[in-house]
Amino acid sequence: MRAVLHQDIVALACRLRFLPAAVRKLAAGQIVAWTAYADCYRLQTGRAHPLFGNGTLQSFCQSLPKAQEGRLDDPDYADCLIRALNAVRAFRKGAGNKG
């Protein structure tokens, strides 16, 4: 997965906010994994993946339904931001992942 920027976390949080709370943790992990796959595809082919984007979370999330960005004092939006950060952190801590 490419470097994760602020806009990537916001994009993922907005996608998660669109989903039911019960599936957000699983969805966050899946999106991060698919984004990493898209980056591998990009590195091998020189092109963005047709479904998963160019290896950034923002690229992946832009084609999916999402909620609007919330205020930081909105508990639901804050939970989505935390889930997004935790998913990236878990991926980066995983065996064999760089970054």
pTM over 0.85: yes
Name the residue among 58, 40, 48, 43 with its Cα closest to residue 97: 40
Residues in the chain: 99
Give pLDDT tens digits along the chain (99 positions).
Answer: 899 999 999 999 999 999 999 999 999 999 999 999 999 999 999 999 999 999 999 999 998 999 999 999 999 999 999 999 999 999 999 844 554
Report the sign of the C-alpha dihedral through residues 94, 95, 96, 99, in that order: positive
Name the residue among 57, 60, 42 with its Cα closest to residue 4: 57
Q: Any idea where the domains of the chain sit in the sequence?
A: 6-93
